[in-house]
Amino acid sequence: MSRLIVCALSATLVLAVAACGGSEAEPTAAEYARAVVTAVDRTDYALARVTRAKSMDELVKRMTEAGVVISAAANELEEHGAPSVYTEENEKLVNSLETLGNDVTSTAEQLQQPGSETLLTGAQGLSFDSWDEANLALGSLIGSGLPVQTLQRH
């Protein structure tokens, strides 16, 4: 009888642990690729909107919005996780997107400061090292066979 109780308790414990979920399975390569494509698309869309601003006020507003969107894309990618084979590249991509979001937001804040009107005078465009870093991480993912694309020039 005591053996039956021990077996029943053991089975109950196994079921309880399974019901708690334990550790979640890592995403598949296809799931991860879709998450990366979504993050890249959101980032590209946000940056493209910046380039279509018609005034300084609109530029600042769109840059601020873009910074938020890019940072959110990085956070979602981090929460999604990556297959263990892509862990290092994912970390680099998440960090560079977070930095890019911060860079864009900081630039918008600088443009709001008195006397900043001349910052863009004669400028051909804006360049962020974090954009390059994100593309390096994406290039590494592409090189390892993941069907994703780099960020576009805007």
Distance CA 25, CA 5 (A): 32
Evaluate whether 28 touches 139 at the Cβ level (below 8 Å): no
Question: Given this model, what pLDDT does residue 114 score?
Answer: 83
- Encoded amino acid at 131, one letter: W
Largest interatomic CA distance in the chain? 88
Question: Given this model, what pLDDT does residue 5 score?
Answer: 41
Question: Given this model, what pLDDT does residue 120 score?
Answer: 62
Q: What is the mean pLDDT of the chain?
A: 85
pLDDT digits 0-9 by tens, 135-150: 999 999 999 999 999 9
Evaluate whether 97 touches 77 at the Cβ level (below 8 Å): yes
